[in-house]
Structure 1
Amino acid sequence: MLFEQGIKMFSGVFVAIFIARHFGPTYFGVLNYIIAFVAVFIPFTQLGMSLILVRELVESPKQRKEILSTAFYLIFVFSILIIIILNTLNFLFNKGGEIKYFITLYSFGLIFKCFDIIDYNFQSQLKAKSSSQAKSISVLLSSFLKLIIIYLDAPFKYLIYTFFLDLVFLALFLIIYHWQKKQSNFLFGFKLSMAKKLLKSSWPIVLSTLSVILYMKTDQLMIQYFLGDKALGLYSSAVRLYDGYTAIIFTLTISILPLVLKFKNSSNEEYQNLFIKFFRYLFWGSNLVALIVMIFSTSIIELLYGKEFVGAEKVLSIVFWTTSFAAIGSLTSRYLIVEKMEKKIFFRTFIALCFNVIMNIFFIPKFGIEGAASATLISLIIGNYAIDFLDKDLELLRRMKTKAIFLS
């Protein structure tokens, strides 16, 4: 899974650098606006299954076929509904026929997200190697196509086609690995009772994931509104590096979920110690990375993106200081899933989102793109640590975090 994230980082960061250098800040801003607009709707198509399915499959392996089939058709149906809603809003609110067309094209790729259940199935069996190989191959292929577009100096619209193909390739290779490994046939086995059970657990995750997406993407949408495409291009150049690093953290926290479930069932003391160790390593490791990035931020931006992107170095420094609390938040979500407190994930994330949106409204017009980065930092501290002091049910979680942060 870490190797897969390394490949994704290559695509999400290094290929993005070539795209940014070739098309410039303005077109890079347009690209990130398209991605951000569609990303807001993705949680409604996924129904929180990335977290719920792994838990359900680990706890009820005998119902694997019914769980997978039900989740597949739920995601498929919701994807179609969301594509319709997304494009209705697209044509009502977005200006410019070209951007509307690009968003429509990219959005149709969401229908292939239903095949992500194959990945969750492999994770639940501690066989993530298979799905990671499938995802790595698809990312390498789409990255190669993007580099070809740049090499041939093709028009910008062809780049958007490759982002649509990202989703198609991923579904295709997951299907290939699924049948090669002779996994359960998920096309038949849908059960209404299972659908109700999954939806009951998933809706808090959907809302919390939406909140996460919103407070990671709202700043980009608001920057485009207040400051324009070029400012968004500068901001996005720094955020892409941040996203690459946090993707590794997310993978680490996802990959330990089956392990944590086993410790919880065997030893409560070892279960708590495991969480403290992970909180500690992720928090202080991320702070060390942030310090290095802050020292060399100007050199990093000029080396990777060129002088045309000078102005993004302060954003890069600020957003990397958020990674320690982003790491804590990612691991916190795993804890709440294991403890079956999914509803709290939404509440915490929604509070952080509200702070983020309010601060962005005031910070972006006054402080520019650095203000957006600062709003993200403050909201992550509030949503992933400070809020624990207000919830009596999370006293154990707060104590584990405090021990990790203060090296107790």
Structure 2
Amino acid sequence: MLWLSGDSILRMGLGFILNVWLARYMGPDKFGIFNYAMAMIAIYTSVASLGMNGVVVRELVRNSESTDRIMGTSFLLQVSGSFLAALLVVLSTILLRPGEWDILLITLVMLPSILFRSSDIIKYWFESIIAAKYTVIAQNVAFLISAGIKMLIMLQGGSYVAIAATVSLEALLVAIILIYLYRRKTKNYAWCVERQEIGRLLSQSWPLIISGLALMLYMRVDQIMIGNMINNTSVGIYSVAVKMTEVWYFFPVAIVSSLFPKIIKEKEKCEKSYNKKMQFLYDLMVATGVVLAIIVTLLSDYIIAFFYGEQYFEASRLIKIYAWVSVFYFLSSASGRWYINEGLQKYALNRNVLGLAIGILLNYLLIPIYGAEGSAYATLIAYGCAAYLFDILSPKTRVAFWQKTRALWIPSAILRIKNTISR
């Protein structure tokens, strides 16, 4: 957890400074185009991964003797998913923004970053053996090189197309370093592909593919719809608010990635202990999310005024709304792994489709009335419905709903966290 957090704290600090510099250098319009393309790429990352993350980690933990078969088959599937995702990105951009060649150009320059995501299979292996430091090393080195090149481009007065190319460069560097570290860590490996394993993995992950696509859509559809219904400048301003909040999203990733392999094993030993650990995880997610939301809400005006300047001041109002999305995002991160461990992938799909439908509908209704602020409210409501209220609809997920309800009562959640840590 410390390794993953350390990685993200570096990204948070340098990434925040870099994002401020990019926003001021490009201006709201070009920054909006840049983030529109980034949103389009992000939407299809779930297709590239084929929903394999949680499934592969679980299979590697449970069947360590079959590591080569799982790794080889999963890699082939992810390569196939990456090419499919790249095609979908191009088609979607052409359909949604026909004739806008500047957006298509930026998207094409960023497109290789999707293809290099096939190396994520090595990240899953490191996660399964709780060796996050190798992933952190790869990501940090690549990030620092990419950040340095971005700064040089801006110092030289380069174009935002060149800046966009560093997104693909960073993904390439991560892939190269991960492969190098994996070969050093594992001397004897012989990845292989089995047709039967392809069918088995896809049968477990296909709901997660659609679920992940729906999740990324309702995480990014606000920026896409603002770009289509208002203008690129509004996307740029809205993106500042989103990035100010999402800079903290490494917390749930670090916590869940570190704790869940042990929680998986706990289920095999004692159901009661397993549920207690899940409750602790939900408590931790909510407490962290609320603290961060309060801090961001109180400081947003000062941060925007000091770092971004008057041209982005409208973003401070958006942050006060969007910051509270993090509470439900954190809950969703924890329960997403729980769905996989319980074999409830179809429920994960259903909740994300529900969140997407609510998000699109509310964006469509609220953006014409309230502008970008309406989109922030739409995103908050959609997250609340999908990450929390959805679980009450089925007996199979209702236990998660009650655990989340207890976690949302902050005083009790903090007390349980304190008691658990003090034992």
TM over 0.5: yes
How far is the alpha carbon of 1:57 from its aligned partner? Answer: 0.4
For residues 158-180 of structure 1, what are the alpha-carbon distances to aligned partners after superposition, in whole Å with 9 as ceiling and x for unaligned? 10111111111111111111112
For 1:272, the aligned partner's letter is N
Tell me whether 1:392 sits opposite 2:395 in the alignment: yes
Distance 2:371 2:312 in 1: 15
- Could you list the runs of 5+ residues in structure 1 that have no partner in the other structure? none
How far is the alpha carbon of 1:289 from its aligned partner? Answer: 2.1
Report the CA distance shift for 1:80/1:11 in structure 2 as closer, same or farther (over 3 A). Answer: farther
How far is the alpha carbon of 1:301 from its aligned partner? Answer: 1.1
How far is the alpha carbon of 1:184 from its aligned partner? Answer: 5.5
Distance 1:189 1:384 in 2: 37
**Contact 2:90/2:108 (8 A) holds in 1:** yes
**Contact 1:65/1:184 (8 A) holds in 2:** no
For residues 355-395 of structure 1, what are the alpha-carbon distances to aligned partners after superposition, in whole Å with 9 as ceiling and x for unaligned? 11100001111111111111111111111111222111122
Tell me whether 1:122 sits opposite 2:112 in the alignment: no
How far is the alpha carbon of 1:56 from its aligned partner? Answer: 0.6
**Contact 2:226/2:372 (8 A) holds in 1:** yes
The equivalent of 1:369 in structure 2 is: 372
How far is the alpha carbon of 1:11 from its aligned partner? Answer: 5.2
For 2:392, the aligned partner's letter is F
Distance 2:161 2:182 in 1: 33
Tell me whether 1:139 sits opposite 2:138 in the alignment: no
For 1:139, the aligned partner's letter is F
Pairs aligned (count): 407
SS of the counterpart of 1:154?
coil
Distance 2:163 2:87 in 1: 23
Which of residues 310, 313, 319 in structure 2 aligns to 1:310? 313
For residues 173-200 of structure 1, what are the alpha-carbon distances to aligned partners after superposition, in whole Å with 9 as ceiling and x for unaligned? 11111112125546x4011111111111
Distance 1:327 1:77 in 2: 30
Which of residues 187, 208, 211 in structure 2 aligns to 1:208? 211
Report the CA distance shift for 1:79/1:289 in structure 2 as closer, same or farther (over 3 A). Answer: closer
**Contact 1:105/1:164 (8 A) holds in 2:** yes
Distance 1:183 1:348 in 2: 42
TM-score (norm 1): 0.96
Which of residues 158, 176, 179 in structure 2 aligns to 1:175? 179
Report the CA distance shift for 1:289/1:261 in structure 2 as closer, same or farther (over 3 A). Answer: same
**Contact 2:5/2:250 (8 A) holds in 1:** no
How far is the alpha carbon of 1:93 from its aligned partner? Answer: 4.4
Distance 2:105 2:288 in 1: 42
Which of residues 166, 169, 174 in structure 2 aligns to 1:165? 169
**Contact 1:254/1:334 (8 A) holds in 2:** no
How far is the alpha carbon of 1:156 from its aligned partner? Answer: 1.6
For 2:114, the aligned partner's letter is L
SS of the counterpart of 2:111?
helix
Distance 2:124 2:218 in 1: 25
- Could you list the runs of 5+ residues in structure 2 that have no partner in the other structure? 414-423
The equivalent of 1:9 in structure 2 is: 12
TM-score (norm 2): 0.92
Report the CA distance shift for 1:296/1:174 in structure 2 as closer, same or farther (over 3 A). Answer: same
Distance 1:90 1:319 in 2: 26
Distance 1:7 1:198 in 2: 35
Report the CA distance shift for 1:183/1:103 in structure 2 as closer, same or farther (over 3 A). Answer: farther
SS of the counterpart of 1:392?
coil
The equivalent of 2:418 in structure 1 is: none
The equivalent of 1:325 in structure 2 is: 328
**RMSD over aligned Cα, in angstroms?**
1.6
For 1:15, the aligned partner's letter is L
For residues 223-244 of structure 1, what are the alpha-carbon distances to aligned partners after superposition, in whole Å with 9 as ceiling and x for unaligned? 0111101111000001012111
Task: Report % sequence identity.
Answer: 27
**Contact 2:44/2:88 (8 A) holds in 1:** no
